[in-house]
Structure 1
Amino acid sequence: MDIRGRVGFNVQRLRREREISQEELSFLSGCTRAYLSGMEAGRRNATLITLAKIAKALDVDVTEFFVKPPKRGSAVKRRTAGAVPSGRARKVTRPRK
């Protein structure tokens, strides 16, 4: 994965974690939705100014865009998938008929 792909992947990951659409991030950052889409796909080169605007909109440090993404299906992901923090029970409800 090249640097554009890494930055794009992380922008998309952080945006989705915050449940923000590209349209919302576009409004918050001042970038067009098409530009964000291209950047997330690794087709656009973002300037530092643009990355700073996006970082501010996502409330993260700009360095978060450069971290190496975890490998798909990593042991940590598999082991913690669906885990409940210790001391807490998961409430299961059934739909009413």
Structure 2
Amino acid sequence: MTEEEKIFLKKIGANIAKLRKAKGFSQLDLCSIIKMEKPNLSSIENGRQNVTSLTLLKISEAIGVEVISFFE
């Protein structure tokens, strides 16, 4: 993975974490809703895991935001 790709994933992950917290969800809350293990969500939010488009959709629906907001 290139450095640019790592930076991209970290930005998306940071946006997911920021929006999740702003909506009042803990990682455990969100994981329970979308049926994901906490270490996987943590890896996504820290930019260590490449998140799939379907996972982005599940997260956005669970916390009540548009998928596009993860990229802003």
**AA in 1 matched with 2:35:** G
- Among residues 26, 31, 37, which one is paired with 1:32 in the alignment? 37
- Among residues 13, 19, 36, which one is paired with 2:18 in the alignment? 13
TM score, norm. by length of structure 2: 0.86
Q: Which runs of 4+ in 1 moved over 3 A?
A: none
Same amino acid, percent of matched pairs? 34
- Establish whether residue 41 from structure 1 lines up as the match of residue 56 from structure 2: no
Aligned-pair RMSD on alpha carbons? 1.1
**How many residues get paired?**
67
Report the alpha carbon displacement of residue 6 of structure 1 after superposing the two structures with TM.
1.0
Tell me the residue number matched to 1:59: 64
How far apart, CA to CA, are the structure 2 residues paired with 1:57 and 1:24? Answer: 10
Tell me the residue number matched to 1:3: 8
Structure 1: where are the runs of 5+ without partners?
Answer: 68-97
TM score, norm. by length of structure 1: 0.65
3-state DSSP class of the match of 2:49?
coil
Deviates more, 1:58-67 or 1:27-36: 27-36
Whose radius of gyration is greater, 1 or 2? 1
How far apart, CA to CA, are the structure 1 residues paired with 2:12 and 2:62? Answer: 15
Where relative contact order (Cα < 8 A, 6+ residues apart) is larger, the structure is: 2
